[in-house]
């Protein structure tokens, strides 16, 4: 028997046994993209980690309800609730409306998700489709005495919560002491916006009426509200990138604790960053690598998936083209090796168990990959069993091994025409003409092979 699933929970900072809160089903919330620009490959490292987590849960027999939000309003340029809304800024940059860019970048995001073979979430709610729920959430927090008003919005008073910042182990007294002048009208440096007012005289593209005045919701409230709506007051796992620990997730927890008294999720898990040249890859830095930059250079998107799977999700990964090359070569070998094996076997129990043991050890995917290589190079006598076992592993890896086909050589029309004419000559027993056409094909670089059902064409090797 393989050991049960253990996952690292950042809230308790321990490796814990995972047991679903409700029998059989797992509620999973993962923070989605802010759609003011393309997602970069760093973002996709986090989405790939979450995809693998979901597949491991499924591997363990759980049905997963997965919610990923689309942040299409309210994420300000600075996490400290200052500056412009990223969507309105994106609109100025591109000359398109905020609604148009949300649509454009959501579609681009979904296309990249498909290219990386990331399973689609069960629900993909947009923040702008859930404004009433966010307003109701804020109204409740206000009733309970956690909110106050400044000239630019409604803020959450973090001093009302003795354990505010526990997830990030924030040193609140240190923060108070080092308080910089720019807290503005906020009472404490860690207080954050629940609702921001449209500036007087400003006509925002995205704004709504609320009990407090016209404006838009803060970024953190969107996740608290949608997570609660789709998954309930307390669900199994909440994920995001490591940057979400000190602010975004800390504030989601604060809001939910204020409203319903839970910490929202039983497990808090975070994907660690993809770095480029030891610097964090960030959209706000302007320059970043999209998946398209990789495919433009001829890489299969799944080579990037492979690269991400070679590192544990709780360690940072430095992106280099050499590493991507290595991943592309390895994936190609794995595919060809798999493809060359005979069909008809059933998975081997001992390997499945070892595989489960690696996954259940806080998703040790690098070791699970090493096991796949051991299997492929392997000791099993019946190669169809090797193939069936690798196909089972692929339910977690997501490389699409069973459906992969070696690339077919595309044969030009003129070559087909010559080969067809040669077949016709043979059928008419005109051997001289058939030989002449074969020579013509060879001169053009093609070899023709006769088959019972016609012919096959192959490029002549040099
Ligand atoms: P955003 O679109 O900025 O809201 O980010 C989407 C997701 O990507 C979040 O879970 C972030 O924490 C995560 N993320 C942002 N930058 C990186 C990076 N360089 N490496 C890995 N994950 C990242
Ligand atoms: Zn979120």
* Overall pTM surpassing 0.85 (yes/no): yes
Of 240, 191, 194, the closest CA to residue 213 belongs to 194
- What is the dihedral angle through the alpha carbons of 214, 216, 221, 227, rounded to the nearest 10 degrees? 110
Any idea what the Cα angle at residue 105 is, between residues 102 and 108, rounded to 5°?
145
Residue 284: per-residue pLDDT: 60
Question: Of all protein residues, whose CA lies closest to atom 3 belonging to ligand 1?
Answer: 34
Strand order in the sheet with 192-197: 147-149, 153-156, 192-197, 215-217
Backbone angles phi, psi at 437, to 5 degrees: -70, -35
Whole-number Å distance between alpha carbons of 44 and 258: 32
Residue 406: per-residue pLDDT: 83
Q: State which of 36, 90, 243 you would mutate to test the pocket of ligand 1, scoring each by most atoms of that ligand within 8 A of its C-beta.
A: 243
Residue 396: per-residue pLDDT: 98
Whole-number Å distance between alpha carbons of 325 and 401: 19
Q: Is 31 in the pocket of ligand 1 (CB under 6 A)?
A: yes
Nearest-ligand number for the alpha carbon of 79 = 1
Nearest-ligand number for the alpha carbon of 273 = 1
pLDDT, tens digit only, all 462 positions of the chain: 889 999 999 999 999 999 999 997 999 999 999 998 899 999 999 999 999 999 999 999 999 999 999 998 877 777 666 677 888 888 888 888 888 999 999 999 999 999 999 999 999 999 999 999 999 999 999 999 999 999 999 999 999 999 999 999 998 776 766 555 467 899 999 999 999 999 888 888 889 999 999 999 999 999 999 999 999 999 999 999 999 999 999 999 999 999 999 999 999 999 999 998 766 676 665 568 999 999 999 999 999 999 999 999 999 999 999 999 999 999 999 999 999 999 999 999 999 999 999 999 999 999 999 999 999 998 888 999 999 999 999 999 999 999 998 877 678 889 999 999 999 999 999 999 999 999 999 999 888 888 777 888 888 765
Whole-number Å distance between alpha carbons of 310 and 330: 11
Residue 181: per-residue pLDDT: 46
Residue 94: per-residue pLDDT: 83
Residue 300: per-residue pLDDT: 96
Q: How many angstroms does the Cα of residue 113 sit away from the middle of ligand 1?
A: 14
Question: Of all protein residues, whose CA lies closest to atom 18 belonging to ligand 1?
Answer: 42
Please count the other Cβ atoms lying within 10 Å of the Cβ belonging to residue 124.
16
Residue 79: per-residue pLDDT: 66
SS3 34: strand
Of 445, 449, 441, 444, the closest CA to residue 459 belongs to 445
Strand partners of residue 449: 456
What is the rounded end-to-end Cα distance, in angstroms, of the chain?
53
Whole-number Å distance between alpha carbons of 46 and 41: 9
Question: Of all protein residues, whose CA lies closest to atom 7 belonging to ligand 1?
Answer: 43
Q: Is 34 in the pocket of ligand 1 (CB under 6 A)?
A: yes
Decide if 231 contacts 224 (C-beta within 8 A): no
Q: State which of 118, 241, 277 you would mutate to test the pocket of ligand 1, scoring each by most atoms of that ligand within 8 A of its C-beta.
A: 241
Q: Report which ligand 1 atom has the smallest distance to the Cα of 283.
A: 3
Of 126, 121, 83, 106, the closest CA to residue 37 belongs to 106
Q: How many angstroms does the Cα of residue 75 sit away from the middle of ligand 2?
A: 10
Q: Is 217 in the pocket of ligand 1 (CB under 6 A)?
A: no
Question: Of all protein residues, whose CA lies closest to atom 11 belonging to ligand 1?
Answer: 241
Q: State which of 33, 42, 291 you would mutate to test the pocket of ligand 1, scoring each by most atoms of that ligand within 8 A of its C-beta.
A: 42
Q: How many angstroms does the Cα of residue 116 sit away from the middle of ligand 1?
A: 16
Whole-number Å distance between alpha carbons of 130 and 135: 9
């Amino acid at each position: 028997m393989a050991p049960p699933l253990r996952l690292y929970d950042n809230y308790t900072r321990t490796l814990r046994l995972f047991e679903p809160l409700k029998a059989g089903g797992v509620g999973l919330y993962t923070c989605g993209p802010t759609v003011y620009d393309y997602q970069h490959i760093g973002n996709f490292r986090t989405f790939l980690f979450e995809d693998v987590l979901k597949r491991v849960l499924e591997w363990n027999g759980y049905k997963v309800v997965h919610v990923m939000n689309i942040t299409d309003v309210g994420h300000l340029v600075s996490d400290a609730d200052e500056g412009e809304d990223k969507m309105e800024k994106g609109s100025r940059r591109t000359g398109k409306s905020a609604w148009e860019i949300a649509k454009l970048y959501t579609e681009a995001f979904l296309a990249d998700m498909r290219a990386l073979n990331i399973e689609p979430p069960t629900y993909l709610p947009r923040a702008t489709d859930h404004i009433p729920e966010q307003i109701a959430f804020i109204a409740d927090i206000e009733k309970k005495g956690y909110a106050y008003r400044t000239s630019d919005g409604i803020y959450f008073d973090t001093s009302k919560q003795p354990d505010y910042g526990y997830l990030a182990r924030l040193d609140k007294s240190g923060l108070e002491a080092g308080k910089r002048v720019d807290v503005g009208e906020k009472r404490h440096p860690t207080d954050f916006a629940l609702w921001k007012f449209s500036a007087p005289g400003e006509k925002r593209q995205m704004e709504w009426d609320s009990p407090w005045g016209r404006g838009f919701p803060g970024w953190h409230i969107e996740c608290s509200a949608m997570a609660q709506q789709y998954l309930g007051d307390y669900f199994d796992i909440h994920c995001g990138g490591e940057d979400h620990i000190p602010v975004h997730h800390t504030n989601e927890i604060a809001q939910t604790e204020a409203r319903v008294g839970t910490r929202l999720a039983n497990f808090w898990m975070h994907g660690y960053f993809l770095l480029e040249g030891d610097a964090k890859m960030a959209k706000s830095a302007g320059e970043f690598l999209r998946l398209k930059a990789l495919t433009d250079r001829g890489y299969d998107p799944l080579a990037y998936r492979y690269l991400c799977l070679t590192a544990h999700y709780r360690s940072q990964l430095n992106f280099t083209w050499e590493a991507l090359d290595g991943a592309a070569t390895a994936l190609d070998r794995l595919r060809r090796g798999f493809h060359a094996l005979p069909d008809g076997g059933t998975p081997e129990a001992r390997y499945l168990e070892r595989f489960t043991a690696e996954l259940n050890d806080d998703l040790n995917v690098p070791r699970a990959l090493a096991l796949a290589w051991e299997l492929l190079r392997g000791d099993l006598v019946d190669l169809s069993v090797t193939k069936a076992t690798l196909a089972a592993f692929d339910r977690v890896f997501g490389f699409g091994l069973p459906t992969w086909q070696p690339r077919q050589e595309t044969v030009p029309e003129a070559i087909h025409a010559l080969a067809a004419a040669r077949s016709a000559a043979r059928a008419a027993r005109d051997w001289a003409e058939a030989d002449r056409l074969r020579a013509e094909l060879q001169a053009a670089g093609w070899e023709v092979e006769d088959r019972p059902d016609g012919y096959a064409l192959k490029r002549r090797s040099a």
